[in-house]
Structure 1
């Protein structure tokens, strides 16, 4: 019980207020009970002296018979005991008064016959005893009323003072748990209202700050994940590049050593030197593509410029026609309107050239490959052997080949689609790869790179 009271501000305010009110009311009651008899006695004595003076004035000049009638009438009207005696004396309040009387007053008067009489007026009603007894009997009821009034007053005081403080304490405790699903009542105009408004303002600022911190943390987490993914891609790229370089390097080394030692057919240098040179050319091409991939990953971004994607595609088609012709593939750019974009020239050319050269290199011999632009989309399509979806999903990975042996024979390094995908990602152009019914489609959405339309004033 004591612990519960110690932890409750409302209980403390209620008990303290009730105790103060009860003690104050009881003290007032006791003070009234103690002071009332004395005050009543003094007031009664003062009034008795006035009445005695008036009685003495009325008795002056009256004879003995008239004096007796006047005294009886006075006693009946005032409820007091009045006596006449032949021995004059000084008036004295309370002197000779019977027990329980409020006052006794004596005054000397001279009657008409010249005789002197002492008039003594005594309160014989026992008023003081009645008052004291009444106060004593009323004490239980008065105490109960005092306690009830004190409890009601304490409850009102606790509700008005302690309840808002308790509510703010509860809000503060929830605020410490970063629970923002609350608000303080700001309708009060006193200090509690000021505290509530300040707490609401602080909570709003804290919520904004927490939101900003969460956003920053999410960005940092995303950047960290991206950095980890890029680092993993670099490691995988280097591992794959090392593996890819080993094959032509081993072939060139074997041919050179065979020619140096004159082993078998290798003694004919004229026949094997071109083969060694071809292996070195493949390594050179692979290294060049690896450098292009590195520049695409980490090179500084160039300033975007206004370009016509159709002109870039036409240049890529022209550069890949010889490769396509060597494989018996007809490569063509379908007619259409200009496709203005704003982008980094190097990245756009890298993406388009690798997409077109990939189609020229891997299209089925004797078929055709087409390049088209329309609706802000670049589409490169060629015929090929059907590819399962899981293979298509990996075509943009570095050095991945759907058919490794045929790709090497055709001179492919496995970096073409990877370079195109990375360049488009850097430009912010979505890429989709699909293969249905023996038709491979490379489609890039360039609508986000569209140049603003100029209007003449």
Structure 2
């Protein structure tokens, strides 16, 4: 990182130094090449302009105005103008006492325009005499002046002699200027590079300070905005990924459960089916003791009845996966549903001696899938009847609790080992290890209850009490 920083700094620094040196060199060369000529043209035009002013002053018909104009001519240009009449006699020279002058102007002054003196090789017209006619009150006068800008070449010579000092000064100035400007540019660029490196590693914690409104400031703002958008996108992708992982894990578990379920079904149906086939085959050939057809036909029927019940429970389990069917929810009276199921269950002759206590004093409304809720309540009460000891009463409680409800069924039975409580909700798991369907059931009842309640977001729990077992569910 430091090597990159130094490399960037030196490159920018050298670029600045080169630009400044080239610029100053070009400016200085322009001064040497064009300043003398520019100065010569400027002075020539200035002298001619003042001469023209003197000519205009004569238009007023007053010679004194011409003399004033000639005084300004000399004061501003340092050129000596000479005013003569048509015969060559000197009429006026600024700052000269004319009474002491008795001689006529030399011939060289006369004429429309003549040259005198030698000139420099660079500017051949540096020194020359010019004449202009001035008409004052009908009389013509001649204005003579000599343009002498011989010293113009000194400017170029001085500039050439001063060049080494100027180059040294320009070099030092360029170093200082390049140093400050390069640091001003490099610092934000290095900060951007640092932040961009962190962004490449998915670290979006650092924010670039916006120190100006120029392109660098705008770039810093864009990087900050990009970091925010990338961070938000990464968070959304992580959330989606987590959901996807959960869905994949859930699908894997369902697939595993399906395999286990099919294996268990095959095992559970195979044994009773083989028993029925064996009994029927023996009765068909009157093999003793199966020649007693009424007795063994009844046993075969009971086995088939158990198989039918198991198949129906398997169909109920398959409906659990139909989420669109489970989504058909309505509001109904849970109190009325429980009362109806109790009345249907206790009418069986084998259950007349069972005492059920259900004294719900309030109407409980529930929004859920009616058919599956009825199946849950029916299975819970059915288990209470099947596993109650003697003629002990079954206690059912139902009441409103906050915005939800509470429902429980308590029956007297043997205590269930704590390590077995959670396993009872697994498919085909029975406390009765012998596999006897008469005493151990199919092992699907509590599994179906758990699936229906989980999908409908109803919580449940099976707990041991001092005198039995209680099944609770609530929302």
TM-score by structure 1 length? 0.69
Instruction: Report how far residue 405 of structure 1 moved.
Output: 3.7
Q: Is 1:402 matched up with 2:401?
A: no
Q: Is 1:310 matched up with 2:341?
A: no
1:26 to 1:296, Cα distance in 2 relative to 1, 3 A:
closer
Task: Give me the whole-angstrom Cα distance separating, in 1, the residues matched to 2:4 and 2:300.
Answer: 94
Aligned 1:58-69 pairs, distance under 5 A:
none
Q: Is 1:160 matched up with 2:203?
A: no
Instruction: Report how far residue 411 of structure 1 moved.
Output: 6.5
What root-mean-square deviation, in Å, do the aligned CA atoms of Structure 1 and Structure 2 show? 4.4
State the secondary structure of the residue aligned to 1:370. strand
Task: Give me the whole-angstrom Cα distance separating, in 2, the residues matched to 1:312 and 1:324.
Answer: 22
Task: Give me the whole-angstrom Cα distance separating, in 1, the residues matched to 2:263 and 2:7.
Answer: 68
Q: Is 1:387 matched up with 2:416?
A: yes
Task: Give the alignment partner of residue 210 of structure 1, picking from 234, 247, 250.
Answer: 234
The aligned residue for residue 355 of structure 1 is: 380
Instruction: Report how far residue 393 of structure 1 moved.
Output: 0.7
Instruction: Report how far residue 340 of structure 1 moved.
Output: 0.7
Task: Judge which range, 30-39 or 357-366, deviates more.
Answer: 30-39
Task: Give the alignment partner of residue 364 of structure 1, picking from 389, 392, 399.
Answer: 389
Question: CA-to-partner distance for each residue in 1:388-407, whole Å, 9 max, x for gaps?
Answer: 22210111111111123486
CA contact under 8 A between 1:14 and 1:155: conserved in structure 2? yes
CA contact under 8 A between 2:430 and 2:440: conserved in structure 1? no
The aligned residue for residue 69 of structure 1 is: none
Aligned 1:394-433 pairs, distance under 5 A:
394-405=423-434, 408-410=437-439, 412-433=441-462
CA contact under 8 A between 1:382 and 1:439: conserved in structure 2? yes
1:6 to 1:275, Cα distance in 2 relative to 1, 3 A:
same
State the secondary structure of the residue aligned to 2:411. strand
Task: Give me the whole-angstrom Cα distance separating, in 1, the residues matched to 2:211 and 2:6.
Answer: 29
Question: CA-to-partner distance for each residue in 1:252-307, whole Å, 9 max, x for gaps?
Answer: 22221222232222111122211111111111111111112212333623531111
Task: Give me the whole-angstrom Cα distance separating, in 2, the residues matched to 1:424 and 1:290.
Answer: 17
State the secondary structure of the residue aligned to 1:435. strand
Task: Give me the whole-angstrom Cα distance separating, in 2, the residues matched to 1:443 and 1:407.
Answer: 27
State the secondary structure of the residue aligned to 2:321. helix
Task: Give me the whole-angstrom Cα distance separating, in 1, the residues matched to 2:432 and 2:5.
Answer: 83
Instruction: Report how far residue 203 of structure 1 moved.
Output: 3.2
* Structure 1 segments unaligned to the other structure (5+ residues): 40-46, 63-89, 96-127, 448-457
Task: Give me the whole-angstrom Cα distance separating, in 2, the residues matched to 1:324 and 1:157.
Answer: 103
Task: Judge which range, 327-336 or 156-165, deviates more.
Answer: 327-336
The aligned residue for residue 130 of structure 2 is: none
Task: Give the alignment partner of residue 220 of structure 2, picking from 196, 199, 209.
Answer: 196
Q: When the two structures are aligned, how many residues end up with a matched partner?
A: 385
The aligned residue for residue 129 of structure 2 is: none
The aligned residue for residue 331 of structure 1 is: 356
The aligned residue for residue 322 of structure 2 is: 298
The aligned residue for residue 250 of structure 1 is: 274
Question: CA-to-partner distance for each residue in 1:226-259, whole Å, 9 max, x for gaps?
Answer: 1221121122122112222223223222221222
Q: Is 1:274 matched up with 2:274?
A: no
1:324 to 1:297, Cα distance in 2 relative to 1, 3 A:
farther
CA contact under 8 A between 2:458 and 2:473: conserved in structure 1? yes
Task: Judge which range, 348-357 or 318-327, deviates more.
Answer: 318-327
CA contact under 8 A between 1:369 and 1:381: conserved in structure 2? yes
1:272 to 1:144, Cα distance in 2 relative to 1, 3 A:
same
CA contact under 8 A between 1:399 and 1:415: conserved in structure 2? yes
Task: Give me the whole-angstrom Cα distance separating, in 2, the residues matched to 1:37 and 1:294.
Answer: 106
Task: Judge which range, 376-385 or 213-222, deviates more.
Answer: 213-222
Task: Give me the whole-angstrom Cα distance separating, in 1, the residues matched to 2:295 and 2:26.
Answer: 130
1:251 to 1:328, Cα distance in 2 relative to 1, 3 A:
farther
1:145 to 1:20, Cα distance in 2 relative to 1, 3 A:
same
CA contact under 8 A between 1:377 and 1:444: conserved in structure 2? yes
Task: Give me the whole-angstrom Cα distance separating, in 2, the residues matched to 1:429 and 1:5.
Answer: 63
Task: Give me the whole-angstrom Cα distance separating, in 2, the residues matched to 1:204 and 1:5.
Answer: 26
CA contact under 8 A between 1:22 and 1:150: conserved in structure 2? yes
Question: CA-to-partner distance for each residue in 1:377-420, whole Å, 9 max, x for gaps?
Answer: 11112222222222101111111111234862237211111111
1:294 to 1:327, Cα distance in 2 relative to 1, 3 A:
farther
State the secondary structure of the residue aligned to 1:395. helix
1:401 to 1:328, Cα distance in 2 relative to 1, 3 A:
farther
Task: Give me the whole-angstrom Cα distance separating, in 1, the residues matched to 2:349 and 2:118.
Answer: 144
The aligned residue for residue 19 of structure 2 is: 20
CA contact under 8 A between 1:324 and 1:331: conserved in structure 2? no
* Structure 2 segments unaligned to the other structure (5+ residues): 39-73, 83-92, 102-114, 121-153
CA contact under 8 A between 1:327 and 1:365: conserved in structure 2? no
TM-score by structure 2 length? 0.67
Instruction: Report how far residue 338 of structure 1 moved.
Output: 1.5
Instruction: Report how far residue 170 of structure 1 moved.
Output: 3.6
Task: Give the alignment partner of residue 366 of structure 2, picking from 328, 341, 349.
Answer: 341
